[in-house]
Structure 1
Amino acid sequence: MTTADFIRGLPKAELHLHIEGSLEPELMFELGKRNGIALPFKSVEDVRAAYAFSNLQDFLDIYYQGAGVLITEDDFKDLALAYFRRVAADGCKHVELFFDPQTHTDRGVPFRVVIEGLLAGMKEAETSLGVTSSLILCYLRHLDEDAAFATLKDAEPYLDRIMGVGLDSSEVGHPPSKFARVFKASRERGLKLVAHAGEEGPPAYVWEALDLLGVDRIDHGNRALEDAALVKRLVAEGMTLTVCPLSNLKLCVVHDLKAHPLKKMLGLGLKATLNSDDPAYFGGYLGANWTQTSDALGLTKDELVTLAKNSFTGSFLPPQTIARHLADIDAYVAKGS
């Protein structure tokens, strides 16, 4: 069995996926046509050519532009199902899916339309593909905290169908501390807490996410390696990091996948996981992140198994469900040995 075949069959979860970031150019054009929205691109090739980013902000500019074709519940359902079909083929069994309601409500699409469409896609994916999923509502950090509170209010009728809240968008200049009150309010409503920190922002942002937001998980966290005391704390607390190698490469967080810190993270005892972030924009879905990173870093079979197990133990699934997935991993490994 080749490493790629082993990876494909290895049961795994995805914990860092922005559903809007799975909007492929083909679907973008299809939805634009369906909704009568003119795009500033002449072809799919023009869109792909625009995906030449040098930093996070360059990416976000086109990301928000592309999301403008998402208007109806069916649009969001189709977006979700297109993603789930790809990730199911990569051996993914569970996804904790980020969505950005402010990206849509700010242009007049009701919160209800966004979440009802996504929930419909998630339900169909579980039935037809066997992939379970849960929702994490992300606050946009380039907006103010009052806007985040308004989004939390919009979400209230759906809190029983939302697993947690997160923090994404432009990191530099928008520290986690900016959202301490809304994260506290989110926790009081029984929601899990995650936050992007230490991607382009400094290690101090990771400290803030831990101490001021009280997060259950850190998204990215690469720059935590610059602070030995922070690494020691993350290891001691068993804090999960949702690492996204191809995203890091595309956004020039690293300049060569062979220099990516994932293997070092594992060596230090950090609870790292492998994820795709915004796969339509960053050149690869979950399977591509696993295989390309494994090839570049020379990940061992044991390291791959550790990453798969981390993806479930770092999830917000119930303990008995996590145990079942871990048993499936062990059975898969034993069968292939």
Structure 2
Amino acid sequence: MSGNPDDVEPAVGALRYERRQMLPKTTMCNDKLHQFLQALPKCEHHVHIEGTISPELFFRLASKNGITLPSDDPAFDSPAALHARYQNFTSLDDFLHYYFIGFSALINASDFEALTYDYLALAYSQNVYHAEIFFDPQAHISRNVPYHTIIAGMNAAKARAAVELPKLSVEFIPCLLRHLPVPSAHELLEELLASGHFFDGTLVGFGMSSTELGKHPSLYKSVYDAAKAAGVGNFTAHYGEEGPSDYVKDALSLLNVSRIDHGRRSAEDVDLIAQLAESATMLTLCPLSNVVLKGVDRMQDIPIREFLDANVRFSINSDDPAYFGGYIQENYCAIQEAFGLAVEDWEKIARGAIAGSWCSLLRKEQLLSEVDSVLQEWN
């Protein structure tokens, strides 16, 4: 365990209380399948660990680590003011402004351990049995927090979860950041390759996030090609959130990705929908995120029914839940209330999410068995 071990237990306990405070008043949905949705074993493939830092934890860690908060923004007057600001994002870039400020409070391995473990404990309480977690090394390295500090804390949380959350499997996926220069992404890849973590089980894949508009996949082809040449497998990228469906299509052809994060706008292209279905490419949809960031006006505008009917594989995820007011259960409930799905629809979603996970065949069989156990009670 890295960092001061005395810091970890109080941080985890306090953070768990803070998370309970920031969750919606209720996770109940007004639907007859609510208990089924709660019981259903879930896979989360699209959650940014930095996006799980609550305002309360941010303020506490900033104080502990001597971080000066912005004095020209009233949102940083108190945790309550920051919560209020999070309810009024105008765009992805508006959100990202606050998202990256949140990074500044994360300094020590113990900070990353407490943050990661508490997300895992909360997700597990909502029956997430497999989590593939994004993190953004460049944003931390650029402020002199080494990659090894980040991963040491996250690995410590994963090791603890292996003991205390026995049905949960955990994987980590580093993301390059599109708003930074491409040479920075190459430098990140070189450091990750030198660590050996793509090949010893520490990292399960490689992804890309941050602002999408004007960032065509061709800009990052050299990075993905270098990763592939080095023997890295399992590629993904955030596309089709703000950018057009052509970005999704070009990411598939140029970057060798087997997964698209978000991908909502794929529904605008009939040929692309057919391609996604035929290739079994998984989309990692984030419903509440899309509504909060005004990618869609309402939950009913997310193409859930179109993807189900076209046999496009997708999972439902929380993205940056501390900023968007809902974890995975809240996203499941929001989809159910908007679309009134049947048990058979959720079975299709659950099985597809397992099939699209980056874990062993044995682990997939275990997850499918968990799903089968719940389905037997509802069929």
What TM-score do you get using the length of structure 2 for normalisation?
Answer: 0.86
Identity of aligned residues (%): 37
Match of 1:117 in 2: 153
Please list, as runs of the form range in 1=range in 2, the aligned pairs for 1:178-197 lying within 5 A after superposition.
178-188=219-229, 189-197=231-239
Match of 1:302 in 2: 344
Of residues 39, 45, 48 in structure 2, which corresponds to 1:9?
Answer: 39
Q: For residues 179 and 265 of structure 1, what CA distance do their matches in structure 2 show?
A: 27
Tell me the alpha carbon deviations over residues 229-265 of structure 1, each in whole angstroms, 9 at most, x when there is no partner: 1111111111110000000000111111122211221
Of residues 182, 187, 190 in structure 2, which corresponds to 1:150?
Answer: 187
Of residues 54, 57, 61 in structure 2, which corresponds to 1:27?
Answer: 57
The answer as to whether partners of 1:199 and 1:253 remain within 8 angstroms in 2 is: yes
Match of 2:367 in 1: 325
Of residues 175, 185, 190 in structure 2, which corresponds to 1:138?
Answer: 175
Shift of 1:90: 0.7
Shift of 1:319: 1.4
Q: For residues 39 and 298 of structure 1, what CA distance do their matches in structure 2 show?
A: 44
Residue 186 of structure 2 aligns to which amino acid in structure 1?
Answer: F
Tell me the alpha carbon deviations over residues 290-328 of structure 1, each in whole angstroms, 9 at most, x when there is no partner: 011111111111111211112211101111211221122
Tell me the alpha carbon deviations over residues 193-226 of structure 1, each in whole angstroms, 9 at most, x when there is no partner: 0001111011111111100001010111111111
Q: For residues 138 and 271 of structure 1, what CA distance do their matches in structure 2 show?
A: 22
Shift of 1:2: 4.4
Say if 2:300 is the partner of 1:258. yes
Q: For residues 259 and 199 of structure 1, what CA distance do their matches in structure 2 show?
A: 13
Tell me the alpha carbon deviations over residues 64-92 of structure 1, each in whole angstroms, 9 at most, x when there is no partner: 00111000000000110121111011110
**Segment drifting more, 229-238 vs 188-197:** 188-197
Structure 1 unmatched runs, 5+: none
Q: For residues 122 and 305 of structure 2, what CA distance do their matches in structure 1 show?
A: 26
Match of 2:325 in 1: 283
The answer as to whether partners of 1:162 and 1:191 remain within 8 angstroms in 2 is: no
Say if 2:117 is the partner of 1:81. yes
Residue 85 of structure 2 aligns to which amino acid in structure 1?
Answer: A
Say if 2:79 is the partner of 1:37. no
Say if 2:247 is the partner of 1:205. yes
Structure 2 residue matching 1:164: 3-state secondary structure: coil
Say if 2:147 is the partner of 1:105. no
Say if 2:345 is the partner of 1:314. no
Residue 155 of structure 1 aligns to which amino acid in structure 2?
Answer: L
Of residues 165, 183, 199 in structure 2, which corresponds to 1:129?
Answer: 165
Shift of 1:37: 1.3
Match of 2:21 in 1: none
The answer as to whether partners of 1:8 and 1:90 remain within 8 angstroms in 2 is: yes
Match of 1:177 in 2: 218
**Segment drifting more, 125-134 vs 201-210:** 125-134
Match of 2:268 in 1: 226
Q: For residues 234 and 218 of structure 2, what CA distance do their matches in structure 1 show?
A: 17
Moved over 6 A (4+): none
Residue 239 of structure 1 aligns to which amino acid in structure 2?
Answer: T
Structure 2 unmatched runs, 5+: 1-30, 71-75
Match of 2:280 in 1: 238
The answer as to whether partners of 2:264 and 2:302 remain within 8 angstroms in 1 is: no
Residue 134 of structure 1 aligns to which amino acid in structure 2?
Answer: E
Kindly tell me the number of residue pairs found equivalent between the two proteins: 337
Residue 49 of structure 1 aligns to which amino acid in structure 2?
Answer: A
Structure 1 residue matching 2:213: 3-state secondary structure: coil
Structure 1 residue matching 2:235: 3-state secondary structure: strand
Q: For residues 185 and 164 of structure 1, what CA distance do their matches in structure 2 show?
A: 14
Match of 1:56 in 2: 92
**Segment drifting more, 207-216 vs 153-162:** 153-162
Structure 2 residue matching 1:69: 3-state secondary structure: coil
Tell me the alpha carbon deviations over residues 2-54 of structure 1, each in whole angstroms, 9 at most, x when there is no partner: 42221111111101111100111111112112111132312111111221111
The answer as to whether partners of 2:267 and 2:306 remain within 8 angstroms in 1 is: no
